[in-house]
């Protein structure tokens, strides 16, 4: 096998839970292959450099092996190698998120009454 679809490979390498999510990420330009925006049908080959943005962060990886089947996480990790710069950037981002702590949200103590709802609607411009 010389190449495989990038959406299948991203799914097999466990960057996305479904192939549909991998395909959508390609469509909205969250995946680049060798500094070129990748479409879902683009072929990925060993040695390609991929830049991936997903919920877990941003990854800069080199493709080491190809697969069209989704296997265990241990098998998936043998398909690629993450660059040291990418690892360091993700570690720094995780530290920053940890320092920020949970986002403070001031929820009201009780449901708004009729007067409060009217004030809210007038403030929003909803009549």
pLDDT (tens digit per residue) in 62-98: 999 999 899 999 999 999 999 999 999 999 988 988 8
Name the pLDDT band for 104 (thresholds 50, 70, 90): low
Angle, CA of 107, 108 and 112, to the nearest 5°: 140
What pLDDT does residue 77 have?
93
> In the prediction, which pLDDT does 127 show?
65
What is the DSSP track for 55-82? TTEEEEEEE----SS---HHHHHTTEEE
What span, in angstroms and rounded, lies between the C-alpha atoms of 36 and 39?
9
- All structural domains of the chain, each given as residue ranges with its CATH number in brackets, are 4-100 (3.10.290.10)
């Amino acid at each position: 096998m010389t190449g495989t679809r990038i959406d299948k490979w991203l799914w097999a390498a466990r960057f996305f839970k479904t192939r549909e999510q991998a395909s959508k990420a390609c469509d909205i330009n969250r995946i680049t292959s060798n500094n070129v925006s990748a479409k879902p049908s683009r072929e990925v080959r060993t040695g390609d450099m991929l830049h991936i943005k997903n919920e877990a962060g941003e990854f800069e990886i080199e493709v080491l092996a190809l697969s069209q089947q989704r296997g265990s996480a241990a098998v998936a990790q043998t398909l690629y190698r993450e660059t040291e710069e990418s690892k360091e950037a993700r570690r720094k981002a995780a530290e920053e998120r940890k320092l920020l702590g949970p986002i403070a949200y001031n929820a009201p103590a009780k449901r708004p009454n009729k007067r409060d709802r009217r004030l809210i609607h007038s403030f929003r411009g909803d009549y």
